[in-house]
Amino acid sequence: MAPSPDAVTEPLRAVIFDVDGVLVDSPHEQAWREALADFADPSGFTTAFYQAYVAGKRRLEGARATLERLGGSGAAAQAAAYAEKKQAVIDRLIAEDRFEAFPDAIRFAEALRGLPLRTVLASASKNADALLARVILSEGRTLLSLFDADVSGREVPRGKPDPALFLLAAAAVDTPPWQCLVVEDAPAGIRAAKAGGMAGLGIARLGDEALLRAARADLVLTSLDELDMRALPSGVLRTRPVPPSHI
């Protein structure tokens, strides 16, 4: 793969992470679909639907968005009950360790420890910490322990694509927004990053590169291993050079 055209931002001081779909292959999509059976026909709840309308949003907002599109007239009135049912399902799936961390994300988070960059977790989900605390690394540390700050699940006036949570994350490490990079898998998250004046790195794990580019991601990758880490602190977002022997 040839290096992509450089996406140049301000020199970076912090990297802000979404969790679900970025760091862990979480069971959120499964929980939303499983819980939906009590409220509407779940057959329309595809991965593409989840990425477009639910991923990155707060629980009640995701429930309302789903029922408005799949539940028929008046179904949105059941959003609170649907959200509560989904939470019960996700609690069970987490307790059963029905998820995995992405190896490339672990490598990326560990590599950032050697760079002059602060790291912040900023998932809309209140379950993010429980997920990351169950991922044990080789040294006995948890994946949660790799990050300098964590604002996941904090109450903000509006969820993504509003930038409120990411602005809170920037403040947590005393960094201006324009020196922050947000790593997101959801279009709503990329839009939130851009609305907050931040750079956005889209990780397309579900073949949704076009959606992330349409949301104005500065760079879209299918693996975080593709990122040129040496250029990152200077604010240059590009894929890492490929050795000549591999071209």
Q: Which helix (H) or strand (E) holds 169?
A: helix 164-172
pLDDT at 245: 56
Q: Name the class of domain 7-25+99-246.
A: alpha beta
Query: Sign of the C-alpha dihedral, residues 107, 113, 114, 116?
Result: positive
| Separation of alpha carbons 73 and 75, rounded Å | 6
Give me 93's structure tokens: 């799936």
Residues 232/115, Cβ–Cβ less than 8 Å: yes
Q: What is the CATH number of domain 28-95?
A: 1.10.150.240
Report the b/e string of 90-107 with b at 16+ CB within 10 A.
Answer: beebbeeeebebbebbbe
CB atoms within 10 A of CB 235: 19
Q: Same CATH fold, 28-95 and 7-25+99-246? A: no
Strand order of the β-sheet with 14-17 is 149-150, 118-121, 14-17, 180-184, 199-203, 219-221
Report whether 212 contacts 230 (CB < 8 A).
no
Question: What pLDDT, on the 0 to 100 scale, is given for residue 139?
Answer: 82
List, for residues 179-207, the tens digit of each pLDDT value. Answer: 999 999 999 999 999 999 999 999 999 88
Residue ranges covered by each domain of the chain: 7-25+99-246, 28-95
Residues of the chain with pLDDT under 50: 1-4, 246-247
Q: What per-residue confidence (pLDDT) applies to 247?
A: 46
Question: Tens digits of per-residue pLDDT, 207-236?
Answer: 899 999 999 999 999 999 999 999 999 999
Residue in 127, 179, 10, 108 with CA at minimum distance from that of residue 167:
179
User: What is the C-alpha to C-alpha distance for residues 59 and 61, in angstroms, rounded to an integer?
Assistant: 5
Measured in residues, the chain has a length of 247
What integer pLDDT is reported at residue 2 of this predicted model? Answer: 38
Paired residues of 101 in beta bridges:
24
Output the pTM of the full model. 0.84
What does the pLDDT read at residue 1? 36
Q: Which among 202, 235, 246 has a CA at the least distance from the CA of 221?
A: 202
DSSP assigned state of 235: T
